[in-house]
Each structure stands twice: as structure tokens, then as C-alpha cells.
């Protein structure tokens, strides 16, 4: 489309397919999508689709069972992809595209490819009507919504279809199209505005993407005129059953509902003395006849805390609320759990809820939109963090094997570059590829994205800019897992005490003697004991707790010596200076690529680097000054704030 970046699917990545003779066997909507892709590539590069006979590439549908799996082999000069479902053939086609020339060289034994996770989903926090506080996209850093404009669904859905193409190419297969904080206008999407959702679903369906909808728990009252939304009330259950039937009449392949309840002013079952299992199961019952799923978010906590009460701990909330309900959720109810216990900080432990509910289906929720990691004004590639989460073993089994689904909050908007910062596209791509193969090496995924997006010439430079960017961001922001320290509300830029005396439960408890939150079982909130062994024991003591999480679990003196050999206070000083220096070095590397990257993309990233450096210096200066004043301990290296 004119004026829209091709992201990791520029024309050139289709060259190898487009110069071949391709045989396509099978029929169905997604086979038609594959055929259109091949036809388009051949029209560009001179190849052709052949009806039979000799071919370089065979794409064959052997059945139609809905499977996303495919097989790939290279033998006797021919590359063959087979699949028993249209979605599998589509994924196999994009596998060939990603391989490029390697797909048509040498030989390769027949190998099956299938996703470890059946559902790989993006949650869009998009508002239909522009919200007076949150704007069009809550925590959106890439412009307005792809789906909604001027209070209604966009009339031209060409870009939505292009978005579905990008998602399918990296392995994502589901999208929720509206904000989990369901406002008045968005609530109506469920009923009298379902046709607008159906239009969006039709565009995404072209690439095998199923559509989900965030709904209000209070919908029977708000939309149906009922006196109650009690999940055990027969009238309420009947209302949901009827409405859900109408949704599926409009969207036969509808995926299901996403619900945020009893959290941050959103209505929920607590108002009726019911449990979250009661609420989720009511919606699960309405969806079950159609094969739909309810994603019930576990982000439930007291956001009216007294900062003086150190027995209350927001980090404990999800575990305390939901573990007693294990085994009570319906089979088509999925508990959607943030990967950490707080709120997508640059460094958190993995949530203890993951692994603690063996009788409940779980989705692990990540945040691709960079709310606390630079808001797509900073380079911060999150692949290493997500990989650490997915490989973490709460009870001996990796998180990826405990999860039934992987979900990310979308980082996409209507910006020309999709994600505002062109390099933030790597987070979207990496999420999809890790969701398909959670044990993949994130650096190999990064290299793949760079090769597809930029080609070979600038690859080394782009990798140098990105591969360590998460740890660089961590260095110049909140240290040692303490979290937050951001400006309240919009969460951009430093404010060390911005949330310290607030009701949100986001404290660091810095005083003249030390810093950090005591979450030990012996003397603190007991949060550390929510983990199974050996993690409960590892986190319980400052002597065994990993340095990067020390202040999350313990309140320690500034002179406490880390495993690195540095004191806490010197670590704070050193890392904040180092982080700025690393950001400056990355900017220089990017500047050196000016003749190797297209001008518009290079200019956008260069402009964002100026803001990143300004902000990184502000973080360094505020954090170091604050802790110098608190501790009275000077920097051992004698550095001064400029």
C-alpha cells in the first residue's frame, strides 16, 4: 500500500519464490491466499504458477482439518511444503519466504513444523471513540487505531488485511480488536455494532487470524437493561447465551471474549459475592456451543493501598486471588496471567501464579507496547526478556510448556511504520516467532528480522544497536528489579517518588539507610513463599537472590555487596552512567548506517535516538542525584552530574 512500510515483508524477500515455477495443489480460502501471494511474487519477478508437471516449489494441501502444522523438505532440486490444513499451508509458505535462497539450495530432510502453543494472540487496547484521558489507543505509541476511526470501524480495511498478512508471516493467529478497559461506546460492539467487528474479522480472516472481542462484565445491565449482572442469575446467563449466538451468526469463526473484571474500576463478580471462576464460567458456557474461549485476566489487585502499611503487597494479589480457584474454571476458560506479578516492568520475577494452577488453562501475557520500556521512543528489543520468561522453570517445567496460549499487548497503530519507532517492529516479530517456537534463540530471531527488513549490508550495525538494548534500558532506568520510578499517569520518564506515596502499591521504600521491598517470608510480606522450591528458598535470602531482582525481594543497606562485588549504591551509579554511554554508542552506530538504510526509516530512528539520549541522561541524573541525597554515599569514581 502506498505510504505504508512493508516491515519485514518488502518485495525483495519474495524474490526467490517469485522467480520459480510453483505448483499449488488444494482448494480453500487460505489456499487462495497462498495462491494470491505466489501470483503477486511471480508478477514482480518473472516466475509462474504451473498447473502440473515440473516445478521448483510445491505447495500442497493434503486435507482440511484446520491444522496449522506443515512439513518441509528439499529433495532432487524441488522444495515441497505439505499441510493438512489451509493455515498450515500458509505458515509453510511464509517459512519458505523467510528462508529465502536457502529454501532452494542443497537438500533438507522432511521435517514437521508445528507451533508449541495453539493460540498466539495480540490484545489491542484500542478505543472506538477517542477517550478523554487515554486517547484512541491506551498505552499506544504508534498513532491511532488500525481498526477504528471517527467513532466507527474504518471503511477501507486494506491496511487491516495487510496487518493480518504481517501477523500470519510471523506466526500470530488471533487478535482482540478493542481495549480491555471497555468504555461505553466499545461495550456496544457486542450487540448493535457487531457488524463492524464482523467487517474487521473478514479482513483478518484472509490470513487465518481469528477475531476476539473485549467485553464488559456489566454488559447485561449496560446493554440489556437487566437489573443485575450476577453470573449465577438465570436471566443473566440466558442474556449472554442469546447475545453470543448473535455474535457467531455474524462471525462464525469468532474466537471468544477477553475480560478484565474487578480491577481498576472495571465491574466484576465480586459485586455479587461471586468468584472469578463463577464469572468466567458463565461466559464459557455461552461460548462453548460454538467452540469459543473466554480469556479472563488475572490482573486483579487492590489499587487503594496505604503506602504506610508494609503488610499489603500488590505482588501477592494474583496468586492470592486465583490459586484457591484452581480446578474450578471451565475447560474453555483461560486465565490470562501477566508474566510478572506487577505490571510489565523492565525487570520482574516470573509470576508465581504460573505453575501454581495445574488444573487451570493459562495464557501468559506479555507487553509488546513499550509502556515501561521507552514507549517506542527508545530502542528496547524485548526478545531476551521474553525468552527468559518462557524458559523459566517454576516447578521444573518451562513456562512455555505450562501455558496454553501466549498473548501480547499490541504495539501497533496507524503510523506509517506500524510501531512508530521502526526498530520496535522487532518486538512484534519476535513475539510471533517465540509464540510459535518458545525455545528458539531470540538472537537468531533478531537476525532473521534484520535480514528480512534491511537486507545483508546493514545487518551487523543494526544487530549492534539492538541486541543489548533491553539491558541498556534497564541500566539507565530502575535498578535491581525495584521497578516503576516513572512519571505517574503516562509512565514516561523518571520520577523516583512519583508513585511512592500513592494508593497503587508500587513502592521502593528508599530511606536514608537502604532501598527495596522486603518480600521475604521471615520478615516481609511473604511473597517469596508463593514460589515452589527451589525458588522460594533462592528469593528468600539477600545472599542467594539474583542481583537483578534483589530490590524486588529485599530491603537492603546501600552498602550491601552484590554478587558482582559492587555495593548497591555503586551499582546504581555505575549502571546509570554506563547506560547513557551505551545509548550514545548505539546512536553513533545508527548514524554510520545512513547510506545503507532507506532515508525515511533512517531519519525516523535517528530522531528517536535524540529523544532516547535526552531521556537516558535525565534518568541518569535524577536517579543518581536522588540516591546520593538519600544515602550520603559519594560515587567512588568521583563523577559529577553535568
* Burial of residue 371 (number of CB atoms within 10 Å: 0-12, 13-18, 19+): buried
In 407-541, which ranges are continuous DSSP H helix? 425-436, 442-454, 459-466, 469-476, 535-540
Give a yes or no: residue 564 inside a domain: yes
**What's residue 449's pLDDT?**
98
Taking residues 484-497, report their average pLDDT. Answer: 97
Cβ atoms of 122 and 175 within 8 Å: the answer is: yes
**What's residue 153's pLDDT?**
97
> Which among 204, 151, 144 is positioned nearest to 173, based on CA atoms?
204
Look-up of cell digits 533478531: 446
| φ and ψ of 561, to 5 deg | -90, 125
> Which among 525, 504, 437, 590 is positioned nearest to 112, based on CA atoms?
437
Mean model confidence pLDDT for the chain = 97
Distance CA 372, CA 470 (A): 11
Select from 54, 81, 113 the last residue of a domain. 113
pLDDT band at 1 (very low <50, low <70, confident <90, very high): low
Q: Quick check: 213 pLDDT over 70?
A: yes
Judge whether 371 counts as a catalytic residue.
yes
What Rg value do the Cα atoms of the chain yield, rounded? 25
The residue annotated as part of the active site, out of 230, 343, 414, 582, is 343
Taking residues 603-618, report their average pLDDT. Answer: 98
pLDDT band at 2 (very low <50, low <70, confident <90, very high): low
Strand partners, 153: 148
Q: What three-state secondary structure class fits 393?
A: coil
Length of the chain: 642
Give a yes or no: residue 179 inside a domain: no
What is the domain range of residue 102? 11-113
DSSP per-residue string spanning 99-131: HGGGGGSS-EEEEEE--SSSEEEEE--EEEEEE
> Which among 514, 495, 493 is positioned nearest to 504, based on CA atoms?
495
Percent of residues, the chain, with pLDDT higher than 90: 98
75, three cell numbers:
529433495
274, three cell numbers:
461471586
**What's residue 53's pLDDT?**
84
pLDDT band at 417 (very low <50, low <70, confident <90, very high): very high
- Between the alpha carbon of residue 34 and those of residues 146, 307, 429, 458, the distances in Å are 24, 57, 20, 30
Cβ atoms of 236 and 207 within 8 Å: the answer is: no
The residue annotated as part of the active site, out of 65, 192, 242, 264, is 264
pLDDT band at 641 (very low <50, low <70, confident <90, very high): confident
Cβ atoms of 100 and 16 within 8 Å: the answer is: yes
The residues, any chain, with a CB within 8 Å of residue 231's CB and separated by 6 or more, are 237, 269, 272, 274, 278, 279, 281, 282
Strand partners, 338: 365
Judge whether 343 counts as a catalytic residue.
yes
Cβ atoms of 313 and 341 within 8 Å: the answer is: no
**What's residue 3's pLDDT?**
72
Give a yes or no: residue 65 inside a domain: yes
User: How does pLDDT run across 177-205, given as a tens digit for each residue?
Assistant: 999 999 999 999 999 999 999 999 999 99
Look-up of cell digits 520496535: 424
Select from 54, 83, 113 the last residue of a domain. 113
Give a yes or no: residue 71 inside a domain: yes
**What's residue 642's pLDDT?**
75
| φ and ψ of 468, to 5 deg | -105, 15
CATH number for the domain that contains residue 45: 3.30.379.10
Number of domains in the chain: 2
Q: Quick check: 112 pLDDT over 90?
A: yes
Cβ atoms of 257 and 212 within 8 Å: the answer is: yes
Taking residues 14-39, report their average pLDDT. Answer: 98
Select from 113, 140, 162 the last residue of a domain. 113
Question: Kind and range of the H or E element at 37?
Answer: helix 29-45
Give a yes or no: residue 19 inside a domain: yes
Give a yes or no: residue 323 inside a domain: no
Classify strands 174-176 and 210-214 as parallel, antiparallel or unpaired: parallel
Ramachandran region, residue 139 (left: φ > 0; alpha: ψ -120 to 50; beta: rest): left
Q: State the CB neighbour count (10 A cutoff) for residue 481.
A: 25
Taking residues 462-470, report their average pLDDT. Answer: 98
> Which among 540, 561, 544, 482 is positioned nearest to 515, based on CA atoms?
482
Looking from the CA of 268 toward its CB, the CA atoms found within 13 Å total 24
Is the peptide bond prior to 116 cis by the omega test (within 30 degrees of 0)? Answer: no
Distance CA 289, CA 252 (A): 12
The residue annotated as part of the active site, out of 37, 56, 262, 371, is 371
DSSP per-residue string spanning 566-619: -BHHHHHHHHHHHHHHHHHHHHHHHHHTTTTS-HHHHHHHHHHHHHHHHHHHHH
Cα 571–chain centre separation: 30
User: How does pLDDT run across 304-316, given as a tens digit for each residue?
Assistant: 999 999 999 999 9
Q: Quick check: 511 pLDDT over 80?
A: yes
Look-up of cell digits 504508534: 142
Cβ atoms of 130 and 401 within 8 Å: the answer is: no
Give a yes or no: residue 48 inside a domain: yes
Longest dimension (CA), the chain: 80
Judge whether 64 counts as a catalytic residue.
no
Q: What is the DSSP letter of 15?
A: H
DSSP per-residue string spanning 157-195: -HHHHHHHHHHHHHT--EEE-S-SS--HHHHGGGTTTHH
Give a yes or no: residue 5 inside a domain: no
Distance CA 29, CA 560 (A): 62
Distance CA 535, CA 596 (A): 47
Taking residues 561-569, report their average pLDDT. Answer: 98
**What's residue 116's pLDDT?**
87
Is the peptide bond prior to 534 cis by the omega test (within 30 degrees of 0)? Answer: yes
User: How does pLDDT run across 278-302, given as a tens digit for each residue?
Assistant: 999 999 999 999 999 999 999 999 9
355, three cell numbers:
505453575
Amino acid at each position: 500500500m502506498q505510504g505504508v512500510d512493508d516491515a519485514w515483508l518488502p518485495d525483495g524477500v519474495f524474490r526467490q519464490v517469485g522467480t520459480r515455477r510453483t505448483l499449488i495443489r488444494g482448494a480453500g480460502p487460505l489456499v487462495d491466499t497462498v495462491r494470491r501471494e505466489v501470483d503477486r511474487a511471480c508478477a514482480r519477478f518473472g516466475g509462474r504458477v504451473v498447473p502440473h508437471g515440473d516445478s521448483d516449489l510445491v505447495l500442497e494441501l493434503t486435507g482440511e482439518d484446520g491444522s496449522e502444522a506443515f512439513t518441509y523438505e528439499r529433495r532432487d532440486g524441488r522444495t515441497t511444503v505439505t499441510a493438512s490444513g489451509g493455515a498450515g499451508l500458509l505458515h509453510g509458505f511464509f517459512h519458505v519466504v523467510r528462508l529465502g535462497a536457502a529454501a532452494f539450495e542443497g537438500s533438507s530432510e522432511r521435517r514437521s513444523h508445528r507451533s508449541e502453543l495453539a493460540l498466539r494472540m495480540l490484545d489491542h487496547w484500542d478505543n472506538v471513540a477517542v477517550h478523554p484521558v487515554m486517547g484512541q489507543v491506551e498505552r499506544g505509541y504508534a498513532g491511532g487505531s488500525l481498526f477504528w476511526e471517527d467513532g466507527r470501524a474504518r471503511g477501507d480495511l486494506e491496511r487491516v488485511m495487510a496487518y493480518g498478512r504481517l501477523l500470519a508471516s510471523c506466526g500470530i493467529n488471533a487478535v482482540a480488536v478493542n481495549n480491555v478497559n471497555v468504555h461505553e461506546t466499545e461495550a456496544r460492539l457486542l450487540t448493535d455494532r457487531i457488524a463492524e467487528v464482523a467487517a474487521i474479522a473478514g479482513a483478518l480472516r484472509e490470513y487465518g487470524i481469528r477475531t476476539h472481542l473485549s467485553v464488559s462484565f456489566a454488559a447485561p445491565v449496560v446493554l440489556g437493561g437487566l437489573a443485575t449482572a450476577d453470573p449465577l442469575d438465570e436471566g443473566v446467563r440466558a442474556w449472554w447465551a442469546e447475545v453470543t449466538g448473535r455474535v457467531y451468526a455474524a462471525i462464525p469463526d469468532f474466537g471468544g471474549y477477553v475480560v478484565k473484571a474487578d480491577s481498576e474500576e472495571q465491574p466484576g463478580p465480586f459485586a455479587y459475592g461471586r468468584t472469578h471462576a463463577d464469572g468466567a464460567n458463565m461466559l464459557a458456557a455461552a461460548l462453548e456451543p460454538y467452540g469459543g474461549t473466554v480469556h479472563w485476566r488475572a490482573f486483579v489487585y487492590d489499587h487503594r493501598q496505604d503506602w504506610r502499611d508494609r503488610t499489603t503487597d500488590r505482588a501477592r494479589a494474583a496468586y492470592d486471588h486465583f490459586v484457591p480457584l484452581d480446578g474450578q474454571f471451565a475447560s474453555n476458560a483461560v486465565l490470562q496471567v501477566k508474566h510478572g506479578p506487577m505490571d510489565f516492568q523492565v525487570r520482574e520475577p516470573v509470576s508465581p501464579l504460573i505453575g501454581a494452577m495445574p488444573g487451570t488453562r493459562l495464557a501468559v501475557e506479555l507487553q509488546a507496547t513499550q509502556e515501561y520500556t521507552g514507549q517506542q521512543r527508545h530502542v528496547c528489543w524485548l526478545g531476551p526478556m521474553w525468552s527468559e520468561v518462557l524458559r523459566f522453570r517454576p516447578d521444573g517445567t518451562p513456562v512455555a510448556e505450562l501455558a496454553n496460549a501466549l498473548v501480547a499487548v499490541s504495539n501497533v497503530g496507524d503510523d506509517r511504520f506500524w510501531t512508530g519507532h521502526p526498530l520496535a517492529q522487532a518486538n512484534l516479530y519476535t513475539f510471533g516467532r517465540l509464540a510459535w517456537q518458545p525455545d528458539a534463540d531470540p538472537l537468531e530471531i533478531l537476525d532473521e528480522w534484520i535480514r528480512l527488513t534491511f537486507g545483508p549490508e546493514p545487518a551487523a550495525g543494526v544487530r549492534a544497536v539492538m541486541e543489548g538494548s533491553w539491558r541498556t534500558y534497564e541500566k539507565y532506568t530502575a535498578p535491581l528489579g525495584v521497578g516503576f520510578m516513572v512519571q505517574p499517569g503516562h509512565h514516561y520518564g523518571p520520577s523516583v517518588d512519583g508513585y511512592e506515596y500513592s494508593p497503587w502499591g508500587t513502592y521502593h521504600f528508599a530511606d536514608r539507610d537502604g532501598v527495596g521491598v522486603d518480600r521475604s517470608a521471615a520478615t516481609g510480606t511473604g511473597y517469596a513463599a508463593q514460589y515452589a522450591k527451589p525458588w522460594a528458598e533462592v528469593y528468600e535470602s539477600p545472599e542467594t537472590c539474583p542481583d537483578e531482582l534483589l530490590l524486588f525481594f529485599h530491603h537492603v543497606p546501600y552498602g550491601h555487596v552484590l554478587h558482582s562485588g559492587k555495593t548497591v549504591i555503586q551499582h546504581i551509579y555505575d549502571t546509570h552512567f554506563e547506560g547513557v554511554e551505551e545509548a550514545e554508542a548505539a546512536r553513533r552506530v545508527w548514524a554510520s548506517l545512513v547510506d545503507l538504510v532507506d532515508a525515511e526509516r533512517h531519519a525516523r530512528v535517528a530522531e528517536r535516538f535524540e529523544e532516547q539520549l535526552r531521556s537516558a541522561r535525565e534518568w541518569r541524573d535524577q536517579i543518581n542525584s536522588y540516591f546520593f541525597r538519600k544515602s550520603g554515599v559519594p560515587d567512588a569514581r568521583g563523577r559529577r552530574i553535568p
